[in-house]
């Protein structure tokens, strides 16, 4: 089954004529994803990577009513309106790749999506892949690499870090396992789908037998997972690695990569997240490369 995307996914790329949009479109098509349309205002009538371009989402939907996923590759200042336009035109899943979106804009578009029953993955997402079915975004990279890293299987993967999404999927493969769906959820302060949101989907997915999760310092999304486990709302094996323990030894005020990597007092400290998750029943990896073997033993 997988979650979020599958072989029936029909993808619209907003910002398709930009450099990143075209690159992503080419990689998605190479993998077999059905990219059926693109949108760039003022460039309707053109094509990009063999995909027809329209001036608006409404026009694209009129010609391709089967669109059910939008990949957003627009500049930060335009992201809120792009997401709202996609949701307003009935697209149920929006994968927002754009980085650097203002907090107010992120909050607005997430609230709008929830009000209309749509799901946002991101912002700052590297993408989503259900191996051998479909991928949105550039997760996995070129075809030769994506074929090595990703194989259809029974382990779900969620990563807050875009860069660690492939690495986390790879340790699963090295353990001789495959993945059901792999999601780069994004590391911003405000994101559309949290660990809890995605774990709830995996809980009800018959194909997924266990989940591997890459979390990190800052924020409370990992703490919410511990609460979820305590309440028995996720019952499948969950292997977790929390990155950023080194940060506790760094000088106060040191900046880290993700917008959401904020530590306030004891709030967001990796050691506290690890303790809470372990007490709730999560399987904790002390090293990232242990994740695959840990989940394998638990299945």
Catalytic residue IDs: 258
d(C-alpha 251, C-alpha 185), whole Å = 28
Task: Return the ∠ at Cα 22 (arms to 260 and 126), rounded to 5°.
Answer: 25
- Tokens of residue 290, six digits: 């242990």
- Tokens of residue 190, six digits: 């405000």
Q: Could you write out the DSSP letters of every residue in 122-149? A: -SS--EEEETTTEEEESTT-SHHHHHHH
Q: Could you write out the DSSP letters of every residue in 11-66? A: EEEETTTSHHHHHHHHHHHHHT-EEEEEE-TT-TT-EETTEEEESSHHHHHHH-TT
List Cα–Cα distances, 29 to 19, 62, 142, 208, in angstroms: 16, 22, 11, 25
In this structure, are strands 127-130 and 134-137 parallel, antiparallel, or unpaired?
A: antiparallel
């Amino acid at each position: 089954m997988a979650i979020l995307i599958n072989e029936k996914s029909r993808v619209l790329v907003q910002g398709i004529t930009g450099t990143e949009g075209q690159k992503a479109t080419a990689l998605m098509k190479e993998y077999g994803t059905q990219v059926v349309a693109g949108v760039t205002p003022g460039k309707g009538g053109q094509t990009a990577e063999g995909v027809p371009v329209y001036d608006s989402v409404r026009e694209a939907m009129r010609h391709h009513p089967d669109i059910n996923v939008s990949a957003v590759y627009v500049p930060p200042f335009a992201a809120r309106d792009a997401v709202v336009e996609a949701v307003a035109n009935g697209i149920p899943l929006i994968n927002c790749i754009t980085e650097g979106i203002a907090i107010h804009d992120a909050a607005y578009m997430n609230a709008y999506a929830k009000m209309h029953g749509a799901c946002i993955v991101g912002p700052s997402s590297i993408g989503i892949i259900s191996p051998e079915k479909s991928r949105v975004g550039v997760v996995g990279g070129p075809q030769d690499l994506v074929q090595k890293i990703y194989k259809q299987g029974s382990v779900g993967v969620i990563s807050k870090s875009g860069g660690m999404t492939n690495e986390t999927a790879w340790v699963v493969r090295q353990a001789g396992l495959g993945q059901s769906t792999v999601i780069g959820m994004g590391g911003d302060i405000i994101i559309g789908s949290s660990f809890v949101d995605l774990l709830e989907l995996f809980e009800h997915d018959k194909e997924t037998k266990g989940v591997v999760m890459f979390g990190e310092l800052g924020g409370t999304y990992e703490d919410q997972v511990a609460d979820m486990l305590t309440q028995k709302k996720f019952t499948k094996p969950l292997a977790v690695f929390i990155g950023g323990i080194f940060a506790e030894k760094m000088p106060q005020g040191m900046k880290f990569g993700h917008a959401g990597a904020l530590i306030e007092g004891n709030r967001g400290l990796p050691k506290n997240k690890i303790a809470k998750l372990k007490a709730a029943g999560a399987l904790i990896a002390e090293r990232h490369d242990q994740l695959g073997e840990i989940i394998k033993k638990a299945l």
